[in-house]
Amino acid sequence: MKSDNEIICQFCGAAKPIEKKGLTTKQHQLKIEIEKYVTKHGHSPTQSALADNLQKSVSNINAMLQELEKKGHIKRAYWQKQSLQLID
């Protein structure tokens, strides 16, 4: 059951706080997808895996990751694959 301050995330089915900390809906969805992947696999996803899961192009995922990084929600090591770190 959700409260008035929560939404049901269409990706994970969990009740999430409405506040998205300045994220667009698509950026929020991407962040949730990263959280789900890390929880399931124990490491961060590749951009290709995110693109497949969200049915978007890799270049679109890269652009959204850049925005998440600018807004301080993730860190990336550009010289490593699967190096996404969520910041909260």
- CATH of residue 69's domain is 1.10.10.10
Residue 68 lies in a domain: yes
Is 32 in contact with 45 (CB distance < 8 Å)? no
Weakest-pLDDT range from 2-16, 22-36, 64-78: 2-16
The two tokens of residue 45 are: 């996803």
Q: What Rg do the C-alpha atoms of the chain give, in angstroms?
A: 13
DSSP result, 39-71: HHHSSPPPHHHHHHHHT--HHHHHHHHHHHHHT
pTM for the full predicted model = 0.73
Residue 40 lies in a domain: yes
pLDDT tens for each residue of 14-26: 666 545 678 888 9
72 DSSP assignment: T
Residue-range definition of the domain harbouring residue 39: 25-82
